[in-house]
Chains A and B, each alone.
Chain A
C-alpha cells in the first residue's frame, strides 16, 4: 500500500517538470514573434544606446588611469 503511494508521488514529481515544459511550449507557439523589420529596429535602438553608454563609461575609465598614477 505504502509503496504504491510513494510510487504515485514520484510519478507526480516527474510530471511537474514535464507539465511545465508542455505549458511553456504551448505558450510559446501561441506567442507573436517579432518579424525581421521590427527586430532589426529593436536591435539597432538597444545596440546604439548600449554602445553609446559603454563608450562614455569607458572614457571615464580612461580618465582613471592618470588619476591612479597621481594618488597611488
Chain B
C-alpha cells in the first residue's frame, strides 16, 4: 500500500456529494449579513420533532446519555437536530488536526488535494450522522421493536438533516457569510437557549396533577409572586432551586460567566513594534490571551462525546444496561433520572458532571478531580498542538511581521521568531487552560452543559462581532442595513 493516502478515500465521492460553489466575486457586506443571519435562522427553524418514534416512548427505558453535551453542540433531543452540529465540528477539527500533525498527508498547495480534503471532511461528517443515528436506533432510544419502515424513516430524517446542515455551514464557510458556519450556528443556538431558559413563557407540565410552570427562570420567579398553590417565599425559593427546569441561580451564573469570558477576550499582551520602512513609526501589536478562542474547549468536549458514545454502545447495545454483565461491572451502568436523563454510575460517572453541586459533592467527590483534570489536560494538549498548525504560530507571525514591514522594538529582525516563540504558545496554552477551568467550574456547579455552552457561545459571538466590524470598516461603512439599524456596531 505504498503511497496510499487517506484523502484518496474521498475520490469516488467527489462527484456524488453536493457542493457549494465559491462566490465569483467578493460578497458585499449587506449580503453577507443576510446570509449569516438566515443560516442561523434556518438552523433554528429545523428543530422539527422526529416522526417514526414509538408512541410509547414516554415509558421508554433508554434515556438520553449525552444530555450534558447537548448545550455545547446545539443539539436538541428527539428532533431533527438530535446530534446538532457535533459531526460537523468533530470531523472538521479532527481532520485538520490530523492533517496538521502530518498523519493524513495533504498538500494544501495543490487544488486537487484541497478539494479531496474538503470532500473527505464532508464525507466523515455525514457518515458520523449515519453511524450515530443507528447507534441511537439500535440502543432502543427511539423505542423498542421499531419496524423496518420506522428505522428507514428515522435514518432518512436524521441523515438528511445532517447533510443539509453540513451544506448550510459550507455556504458560510465558502465566503457567503462571516466567520465559520459552525460558529454562527453554535452562537445562535446558545443565545436562543439562554433566552428560552430565562424569558421562556411556554408553560410546561411539571406533575401529574397538571400544575404548570414557565420554562424561563425569570418568568417563573415573577409567577411565583402570584402562585396560589404555594406561599410566596416557598415559590421564590423553588424558583431558585428547581432542578427539573432552568432555575434562576443557573441564569445568574451563566450571565456571570458570559461577563468573565468577555473580560478574558480582551486581555492581551501589547508588543511594541516599529516599522522597518519608515523611521519613527511606532505601534503596538496585540497578542491575545485567547488567540485560539474556545476551540480547545470544544476539542475537550468532542473527546468527551466520543468517550460517552462508545460507553453507550458498550453498556446499552452490547450489555443491554444489565448490571450483572461484566461490561457494566467495569464501566458502570445508566440510572434513569426523571424519566429523561440516563445518568451513568461509577466509573463512567467520573467523566460526567454532577447534576447539582451539593449532590455531587456527597455522591461523587472523585468526579470533581477527574473531570476537571481531564478537560483541562485535553484542552492544553490541543492548544499546544493547534497554535502550531493553524497559522498563528510564532513562525507564521514572524513571517507576517516581515510582510507588513514591522519588527519588534529593540530586537534584531532575525530574532523575532525566537522572541515570539516565548510568548505565543504560552498565551494560547494559558488561555485554553483558563477557559477550560471556567467551563468546568460551571459544569461542577450543576449547569448540565450550559456553562461550556455559554463559554463557547460568547467566545464565538465575540469573534463574529469582531469580524463583522472589521468587514464593515473595510467596506467603508457603505451599508443599507446599518443605516436602518443605526449602526449598533460602529462603537466597537
Contacts and interface: CB of A to CB of B under 8 A. Distances in A.
Interface of A: 20, 23-24, 26-28, 30-34, 38-39, 41-51, 53-58, 60-65, 67-68, 71-72
Given A27-B426, A45-B489, A53-B40, A34 B200 contact: no
B262 A42 contact: yes
B187 interface: yes
Contact of B188 (A24, A44, A57): A57
Contacts of B267: 28, 31-34
Interface string B406-445: 0000000000000000010011011001000000000000
B266 A34 contact: yes
Contacts of A46: 258, 262, 458, 461-462, 465
A56 B195 CA distance: 10
B349 to A, nearest CB: 25
B194 interface: yes
Which of A30, A39, A41, A61 lies at the interface centre, i.e. has the most chain B CB atoms within 10 A of its CB? A61
Interface of B: 40-41, 44-45, 47-49, 51, 187-189, 191-196, 199-200, 202, 258-259, 262-263, 265-270, 286, 289, 380, 423, 426-427, 429-430, 433, 457-458, 461-462, 464-465, 488-489, 491-492
Contact of A20 (B47, B262, B429): B429
A23 B286 CA distance: 18
Given A45-B492, A53-B188, 13 more contacts: A23-B430, A32-B268, A34-B267, A41-B491, A46-B458, A46-B465, A50-B457, A50-B461, A53-B461, A57-B191, A60-B45, A61-B44, A64-B48
Contacts of A67: 48
A26 B422 CA distance: 12
A20 B436 CA distance: 15
Given A24-B430, A27-B430, A30-B269, A54 B49 contact: no
Closest 7 CB pairs of A and B: A57-B192, A54-B195, A54-B191, A24-B430, A34-B266, A53-B191, A58-B195
A46 B491 CA distance: 12
A39 B263 contact: yes
B423 A27 contact: yes
Contacts of A20: 380, 429, 433
Contacts of A53: 40, 187-188, 191-192, 461
A64 B43 CA distance: 13
A62 B202 contact: yes
Contacts of A48: 488
B426 A24 contact: yes
A57 to B, nearest CB: 3
B438 to A, nearest CB: 14
A20 B426 CA distance: 8
Contacts of A57: 40-41, 44, 188-189, 191-192, 195
Contact of A58 (B192, B265, B286): B192
Contact of B192 (A27, A31, A61, A71): A61
Which of A38, A39, A50, A68 lies at the interface centre, i.e. has the most chain B CB atoms within 10 A of its CB? A50
Contacts of B194: 50, 54
Contact of A51 (B195, B268, B430): B195
Contacts of B191: 50-51, 53-54, 57
A64 B51 CA distance: 15
11 contacts: A27-B423, A31-B267, A39-B266, A49-B465, A50-B194, A53-B191, A58-B200, A60-B45, A64-B47, A67-B48, A68-B49
Contacts of B492: 41-42, 45
Which of B191, B259, B286, B465 lies at the interface centre, i.e. has the most chain A CB atoms within 10 A of its CB? B191
Nearest to A43: B262
Contact of A72 (B49, B187, B430, B457): B49
B432 to A, nearest CB: 10
